[in-house]
Structures are given as C-alpha cells and as structure tokens.
Structure 1
Amino acid sequence: MAQRLREAPTALGVLEVVAEFYGPMPVGVTVSHRGRIFVCFPRWGDPVDFTLAELRDGHTFPYPDAAANLFDPDAPAESLISVQSVVVDPDDRLWALDTGRPRGQPIPAGGQKLVGIDLARDEVVRTIVFPGDVALPTTYLNDVRFDLRRGAAGMAFITDSSTEGPNGIIVVDLHSGRSWRRLHDHPSTKAEWGFLPIVEGEPLMTRPREGPLTPLRTGSDGIAISADGERLYYCPLASRRLYSVSVDALADERLSDAQVAETVLDHGEKGASDGLESDDRGRIYLTNYEHNAILRRSPDGTYDTLVQDARLLWPDTLSVSMDRHLYVIANQLHRQPGYHHGEDLRRKPYHLFRMPIDAGPVLLT
C-alpha cells in the first residue's frame, strides 16, 4: 500500500539545482572528498558518448578520458561499457560498476566488472572482472558500497537487481579480487509478488510496444551500509520493504547460504524506493519514487520526510558529501518508452539536486 508521508522541517526541505542534463539519462552520482562530482550514464538506449563523466561548471566530460569510454568488443574488460553506479570509497578512490550490458545486448566475457580509478592521477588502477558463477548471464550489477576495514584491503558489496534471473548480493575481496554470491534468490532480494506502484498518478508496469503488460520485476537495487559497518541495508525496487543482513555473515566464506540468510532482518514498510544511502550518525536515506520524496530513517526505526518536491521525478541515486550535503539524481526513469507502449514521455532536462544535511558520509577505513 502507498505510504503517507510526514512533513519535514522547512530548513531541510529545499533543493538546490546542481546540474541540468540535456543529453542521455543520468543514473549514478558520487562526490569525492575534495568535492569533485562524477555521474554515469548507462547505455540503455539513449545515444551515450561516454558512460562515466566528471561534472565541472555544469558540463560533463568523459572520465577518466574519452578512450576509456569507447567500448571495444575485442577487449570488454579494458573499456567502460555501461556504468550503472559510480561510488567514491572511504579512501577517496573512484569505483565504476560496469554492467557490461550495452543496450540490453548479450554480455561479453569480461564485461561485468568493478573498475577502480585513482583520482590523484585520473587513471584506472584496478579492474576486477566477475566470473560467470558470480555475475550470471542474467545479472544486472546495480549499486555498490565499501568497508575497507575488512580483509587485507577491504570488501565491496553489490546488489544484483536482475529482472530476468535470481537476485542477490555479490561480495568482493578487494585484495585478491575474489568474489562470491550471497542471499542468492533469497525472498528478501526479489521483487514483491503483486507489487504495483503508482507514479504520477498512474500504475507503473512494463508496457512494451507489442506484447502483454507485466509487473515490475526489478530485485535488490538500493544498498547502504550502516555507520558501524555491521549491517548492510538493501531493498528490491519492486517492493516497499526494507531489509538488512549481517556484514560479518556476508564476508565469511565459511558460512553456508542458510546461515547467512538467518541474519536477514525485515524492517517493514518504508515506501517504494530506488536508491539508498547512509550517514555517519546512523541514519538511512531512502528515495520514494511514488511521492517524489526523500525520507530519512533514524536508528530507532522512525521516518521523516526530508523533502517532497514535484521536480523529484524518479529520485534515483543518493550520495552524501564531505561538506554535509545529500545529492540526488532525478531522471524520469518511469517515463521511458518501455513503460508506455514505446512512447518516450521523458522531458529534458534531467536534474542533479542537493540539499544540506547535518551529517557526513560513512567512512569505514
């Protein structure tokens, strides 16, 4: 059922326009410790000259350079194909999560990967390619969070939001490059049966130009790590529920899938969300795409509405900056042709907004 929102203090209810986008649809955003802003443009169908960009003075520039953004079918592990998420880690390194799926085409071997970029040198310094039993042919790598205290060089945690196959969480050892699946096809990672969101007053379903209407099938999507690094929060996009799992359990390869699943908590309804984020005061931020809003969950489980604004047409990715701002991409995802019998209802520009908050990012290092 739809959620009734509680109004937020007016001091936190003001959105500042950071950038307007008149080209392809943006999805991910992150801000470095020094204030550099990066965005990504997955190759979903729009003409995309570069899938990863730095935002400077209101304009986007290919990052780390144009060559890195040129898809080479003969070397899929060496080029950025379709970046879905871009995140700065606690050590101020940039990581690009590459789905390897250009315009829904088959995924080339080596295309599904996590790419690390040194922001001081603006160079790719690490590429972790996922094996076929971790990133499946149906996998859609959606979003990523980091805890650099774990293992020899830290760990990454990635949501698989596939609409075609099993969902789950992918764990990556950043030292060895090893990766493994957790909560594989677990109910908490899957689309909720019978879920029907109402967006801009209309039921949102997949409506192809030809063929039957189908409900949304997107699984585990939003992800956030708690301030103490003990819990990983996540939610299917096609659901209104919030879940978390023990990070200790995810990271321990010795545990069985059943033992990991025993640590899952269902935190109840929170509204329909895409992106999640956390802050260093133990709060979780949640987009609410049915109500053009951003909510904040306190450690005691209560929610407040930080902002509700008609311009937040599908609030997607969230990012907390060192100077205590919350950034959000609004990209009109629900207006894409696939939801409207082939008609593109998006109206440019897309937006990057920010708003002041009273906390900084979670830095587990």
Structure 2
Amino acid sequence: MFSSVAVVVAAFVALGCAQSNSSYPSPPTVLGPEDVTGGSIEGFQQPHLFQDNGTYGPQVEIMHYYYDQWPIGLAAFPTGDSKALYACYTRGPYKYTLGKITNLTAEEPWPNQEINTPPGGLLDENLSSLTGYSMATNSTDHFISVQALYTDPNGRLWVLDTGRPTVTSDNGASTMAYAVVGGPKLVLMNRENGTIERTYTFPGDVHFPDSSINDVRFDLRHNITASGQGVAYIVDSSNEGRNAFIVLDLGTGKSWRRLDQHPSMLHTYNNRASYAGIPTYITIKGQSEYSNKEGFDGLALSPDGEYAYYSPLVSQYLYRVPTSVLLADNGPNGTDGHDAELKASFAVQNLGQKGSQTNGFDSSSDGRIYLLAPEQNAIFAFNPNTSKIEPFVRDPRLYWIDSVVVADDGYLYGNCNQLPRQMQWNNGTEKRVKPGIMFRVKLPEGASRITTGLGGA
C-alpha cells in the first residue's frame, strides 16, 4: 500500500515539474542572509505592501477651527452663498454654552452673553448646602449647559439644555451637578433675532435629577397627536441613572418616558473601547467600572417617521422601534401606562451589530441612517434597503465626532472634540490638542435633510 502511494506521488511531482515552464510559475528563489545588503535584498524589488492609511469615502472639508472652547453639538442653516453655523459647549468653566460661528477660527455667545449667564450662577448654593450634593440652578430662561442643537424639518432652531453643568474639584475630578426641575429644557429659538419663542420643561417623574438629555429629533406631522403640533423624541443617555425615550407633545407640553431601562437602552457592562488603537479606561467619581457607562445615545427617524433607530453608545447593536408605540402616552388618568410600556418593549427590533460603539446618529432623505463610529474615526451608514452597515467616510482627523446634522445643502456637518484624550480618560492628564474642528462631507446620490413626511401634514 505504501509503495503504491509513493509511485503515485512521484508521478504527480514529475508531471508538475514537466509543466513548470508553461502553466505553472517557477517557485521563488530562497535567499539567505548573505544576499541581504544594507536592509535590501540584492536583485529583489521590494513589493508595495498594503497599509491602512486611515481614510475612505468623500472628501472631508474643514468648516471651522475651535481654539477657545471644545464643542459638542451644532446646527447649520443655508443663507444664500454662506452658512449660518451654530455650536454648543458642555458647561464647566466655559464662558458660554451656546454660540455662533463668526469666522473660520472664532465664535461668540449667541444670542448674547446674558442668556448664557444664569443669575446667581450655575449652581443653587442653598440647595447644594442643604442636600450635600452639587445641585444645578433651575433657571428656565437662561441656558445652563446646552448639549444639542437641531433644525426641525420646518427649518426652526431648537436648543436642548441638560440643566446639568460640570463641576470640577481641586484635584481635577469632574462630575455633573444634579438637575432641578425647570433647568432641563427644550427651547425653540427665533433664529433671526435670538428671542425665545417657547420653552418646554419636564416634571420630576419624567426627568430625574441624574437624567441627562442628550439629543432630540422631531416629527411635526399634524395627525400623530391630538394637539396637531407634532412631537419631539428626546434621548436620556445618563450614565448614572435610567435610560429611556422622553416623548414630548409640542402642542400640550406633556411629556412621558418610554422603554425605560429596556435592555436595548442600556450600556454593555465593562465594555472596553479603543480609540486610535489605544484601549481606554475611564475614571468616574463614585463608580468602580472603568469604562464608559453611557446608554441610549444615537437617535434618528426614518423619512416617513414610522421608525426610530437608536443605540446605546456602549453597545455593538443597532435597534429600531415603531414610533406608534412611543407615541402612546399614559392616558388621561395614567391607567394604561403599563400596557403602553409593555407594547413598546415587545416591539423593539434588533438589527444586528454595527461594527463599533456609536455616539450619535442622523438620517437623510434617502433613508440611510448615519452612525458615528468613534473607535474607527469614521461614520458608518445603515442602509434599510439591504439591512447592512456600509462604510461612508473615515479620516484620522475625525477624532471623536460628537455630533452630526444633515443640512439642506446635501452635506453632513459634524463637530470633533477629541473627547477620549481628556483628563478623565487618561489618568488625570489632559492630552487634547486644539483646535477642535467642524467639518462637512457630501452625501451620496443627491440625498439631503428630511423635509417631507416629518414636516407637517
């Protein structure tokens, strides 16, 4: 048996050798150390090796450089041949929390410094002394700590104020002051003159002291609420408390929570992220888990308003839920709230893994859902036609894209603020290097901001 196999193998080898000069390439010459001179191999052309240059997708255009304050959210409005660009900044030691871009390298408080300066300061010193905790002011007509800006489908400017400024101790540890009813708010601004047109606040059983309202999207269809003025869907992304949708009826001012503490809302325990190839640990005062605990963060609506796409920041999974189950409130007497919550929880759909942690979403008129992927310095896109996550843009300069908006001009605008390089994420050493940036990239196939379906009738 052995000798027969040997004969067959010998014949096969002979056949291969006989054909080596025709259809089969000759084997490479094995070179030894004596053939290597000065780091190159004599007579051997060095190949062009594959390398990841960190980029793909459309051209990234820098629209603004932040040299003063690190940005969070933004809004972009077309105004003829130029842009009206706005930015917001998480309030700590910063002079203002809502600003307008004035040129390539400068911003100014908007609409003025006064509205950015709550009388009596950012904290309620009497309440703080009484409770032993840092308690924020409850000023309803001044901005405390603006987290997000958004343009609704009718082109109006909305400002989302967390009501929770950052408090930094003498040793550099930072925490957020607890919110007091009246401080957290959604504000409709007149973009032409900077006046406040309407302010919405939240009761204590909808927004808790350790809630953190992070982002907002709008559905202004007249037929989805009895008031006929549409709704705002607001993200509670708290890494201290409970995560949920906060749904706000823009006509009545009534608000309620939905999917409160649902598994799709919560962060993955002890999930280790890496940014620019560096595994990251975070020191959070009073918490033993050295990783980000932020839950529900990214939110975007389908163009017809029928679905809300969302995800926790610290999660690999993308979810969606029919907005019809979010719109069901607690009834006139609160008697059917439990049923509404159950129906919402059973309607959640898991769309699979995204390929990254994601810290913000927006959607475009073609139905794509854009997902910020901070671990890859990239933006991915969920294509509802294929149910796949697709690459959109990647660039090493896009270090922690904190917020994006799709604008009328067919561009996606975003802010980058190098968040993983801040002190809390680097053992107390500040590693961020200014400037931060605002950028834009062109959307594919003529897509733009959603203005139909969600914009009214």
- CA displacement 1:32-54 (0-9 Å, x = unmatched): 354421110011x3x31110111
Who is 2:216 aligned against? 144
- Percent of counterpart pairs with the same letter? 36
Instruction: Work out the CA distance in 2 between the residues paired with 1:361 and 1:70.
Output: 33
> By how many angstroms is 1:212 displaced?
4.9
Greater RCO, 1 or 2 (C-alpha within 8 Å, sep 6+): 1
Report the residue type matching 1:105 in the other structure.
A
- CA displacement 1:216-270 (0-9 Å, x = unmatched): 1101011111111011111111112111111111112155201011111111111
Instruction: Work out the CA distance in 1 between the residues paired with 2:287 and 2:158.
Output: 38
Alignment of 1:38-187 (within 5 A): 38-43=86-91, 45=92, 47-58=93-104, 59-73=106-120, 76-103=139-166, 104-149=176-221, 150-151=224-225, 152-187=228-263
Instruction: Work out the CA distance in 2 between the residues paired with 1:105 and 1:173.
Output: 27
Who is 1:278 aligned against? 363
Alignment of 1:201-216 (within 5 A): 201-207=277-283, 212=288, 214-216=290-292
Report the residue type matching 1:354 in the other structure.
R
Contact 2:325 2:340 in 1 (8 A): no
Instruction: Work out the CA distance in 2 between the residues paired with 1:7 and 1:258.
Output: 48
> By how many angstroms is 1:131 displaced?
0.7
Q: 1:250 to 1:82 in 2, by over 3 A?
A: same
After TM superposition, the score normalised by the length of structure 1 is 0.93
Who is 2:424 aligned against? 338
Larger radius of gyration: 2
Instruction: Work out the CA distance in 2 between the residues paired with 1:7 and 1:241.
Output: 27
Who is 1:294 aligned against? 379
Alignment of 1:306-321 (within 5 A): 306-321=392-407
Who is 2:305 aligned against? 229
Who is 2:84 aligned against? 36
> By how many angstroms is 1:208 displaced?
5.3
Q: CA RMSD in A?
A: 2.1
- CA displacement 1:120-173 (0-9 Å, x = unmatched): 332111110111100111100000000000321110001111111110100000
Structure 2: stretches of 5+ with no match in the other structure:
1-51, 121-136, 167-175, 332-338
> By how many angstroms is 1:66 displaced?
1.6
Who is 2:31 aligned against? none
Instruction: Work out the CA distance in 1 between the residues paired with 2:200 and 2:111.
Output: 17
Instruction: Work out the CA distance in 1 between the residues paired with 2:72 and 2:220.
Output: 25
After TM superposition, the score normalised by the length of structure 2 is 0.75
Describe the SS at the equivalent of 2:376.
Answer: coil
Instruction: Work out the CA distance in 2 between the residues paired with 1:203 and 1:9.
Output: 21
Structure 1: stretches of 5+ with no match in the other structure:
1-5
> By how many angstroms is 1:205 displaced?
2.4
> By how many angstroms is 1:198 displaced?
1.3
Query: Would you say how many aligned residue pairs link Structure 1 and Structure 2?
Result: 357
Describe the SS at the equivalent of 2:344.
Answer: helix
Task: Work out which of the residue numbers 400, 414, 419 in structure 2 matches 1:328.
Answer: 414
Q: Does 1:266 align with 2:317?
A: no
Describe the SS at the equivalent of 2:324.
Answer: helix
Instruction: Work out the CA distance in 2 between the residues paired with 1:210 and 1:121.
Output: 43
Runs of 4+ in 1 over 4 A off after TM superposition: 6-10, 208-213
